[in-house]
Structure 1
């Protein structure tokens, strides 16, 4: 059947390909039809491909609809809402999630005098540099005291000032270190002005927070955090320097009672708690924070959302 150069007639290869690819005939059926062997049919099909009579295209996996992905993740995490940015590279996620956060904040319809809590951390610091929605008169309040660190994202009052400026709000500053000595803390707790400030935590309508990665895996962490202590080995994340384990339960450590930061039980009472988090390192932190009721909304990117769902399915 092959000619002198080892090839089959083009018409024969075309017939075999038509029967196989368009009419769903088996190779055995084609062999019977053409009066040849299955081995010959296999060679005919290969030749049809080699000579351009057949084109086989492997399509990429279909991308899940972002709305479906967000709804599935919100249901799996038990959150009120998950909002996703447009797909983008890891380096451009901060600028991609900022407009999504702006939409969420706008939807809350915060009025003048309403209190908006903000955390420190790299993510919220990045957001503070970008365009925010106008929320005139909203009172912006830090969730944690200042930290004696060189990185700008630990300077809570500066982050508060930037966000208040971006939304047209009113900043309220916390003039206290995040981790004071015991004597200073006693003085702070007794101070009437400090009491008036911490009362703002209890009247807040909304909060925007980053979610810290597991403390033992982080490149940058406040110096007051005793990462060598045994209890923190169980910590998988934090919000406002309040560390929690895989079930979302707060992890204590030596001196943790000195921390000047919104208590988790107070944070959980805030009606709208928005976490902004992305990246593989944050997956266990977000899962645990959701279990612990630290936030009601999540703003992230599609890649992180898919990783979160995959992690949930692995542990199901």
Structure 2
């Protein structure tokens, strides 16, 4: 076969033939040279030019990216979720910085438009990510999922978290002017107030919710003061969303006073089309598993180390959609 002189560009058809033999049919350069009636040096030049001209495109995937993709898919299947969003690996102290852009990407993918409702929970994790980059979602209504709490920590101030998220996305905050755990008489008055009822209506028509997942109550360093951790029912609790606790099977754990809680009911959370849990850390593994089993979220934003622990934990007992 006649070849172009040294230094000249080879015909595209010849480049394609050489590349097909070498890259797709696993022929050696010596075998390609024999098939084409040329030298190995010329085959090397053919392959180099095929790459330079885009006839051959080589993708090099970093092992961590490939592993993360596989890990996310495996965890999605084992937890029975719609999607698992993994952050890049990083030092534990920088996990909020790592998961924030992942949450932003997940939120952007929901397709929220003006006047759609986005709910947000309280909690340290949501508070931290609310202060970082969020996608632009102009005109989206942002409402809290639980009433305010008489606690010194900023992450219990639900209206402030709502305001931060609304500012971050360019949305419209809708505040809930009610304590999370009012007395019986006050609650009876609050639930008939038009401003409170408007928030309840937002709960029922929300398109998306972003929630933290609380660790087992007896293991937590910080927990709302109204939660009676000494009560026997809460000894069975492994986690919570919006201060509504559940056991290892994802069944709500009721305690004295729980009926007074002003927070999105778990049955309402299950009806929201996209529910995104943001949670990480070994302590929260049982909380995440049980929350997925209860159907309280269908997306999970976490980091690779937590995801690996979750995969190991659920390897022998994956959660199917029928379980939620």
**Smaller-chain TM-score bracket:** 0.7 to 0.9
1:119 aligns with 2:121: yes
1:253 aligns with 2:248: no
Which structure has the larger Rg? 1
Rounded Cα–Cα distance in structure 2 between residues aligned with 1:306 and 1:280? 10
Mapping for residues 132-171 of structure 1, pairs under 5 Å: 132-171=134-173
Q: CA RMSD in A?
A: 1.3
1:186-221: CA deviation from partner (whole Å, max 9, x where unpaired): 001122222122010000000000000000000000
Shift of 1:315: 5.2
Structure 2 unaligned regions, length at least 5: 1-62, 319-324
Rounded Cα–Cα distance in structure 1 between residues aligned with 2:79 and 2:202? 28
The residue aligned with 2:133 is: 131
The residue aligned with 2:234 is: 232
Mapping for residues 43-192 of structure 1, pairs under 5 Å: 65-192=67-194
SS of 2:159's partner is helix
The two structures have a TM-score, normalised by structure 1, of 0.79
1:308 aligns with 2:310: yes
Q: 2:283 aligns with which of 281, 284, 296?
A: 281
Which consecutive segments of 4 or more residues in structure 1 shift more than 4 A? 61-64
The residue aligned with 1:269 is: 271
- Comparing 241-250 with 63-72, greater Cα deviation is found at 63-72
Rounded Cα–Cα distance in structure 1 between residues aligned with 2:206 and 2:139? 14
Shift of 1:97: 0.3
Aligned length: 256
The two structures have a TM-score, normalised by structure 2, of 0.77
Shift of 1:314: 5.4
Structure 1 residues 302 and 254 mapped into 2: Cα distance closer, same or farther (>3 Å)? same
1:109-130: CA deviation from partner (whole Å, max 9, x where unpaired): 1000000000000000000110
Rounded Cα–Cα distance in structure 1 between residues aligned with 2:112 and 2:285? 30
Mapping for residues 286-297 of structure 1, pairs under 5 Å: 286-297=288-299
Rounded Cα–Cα distance in structure 1 between residues aligned with 2:88 and 2:234? 35
The residue aligned with 1:45 is: none
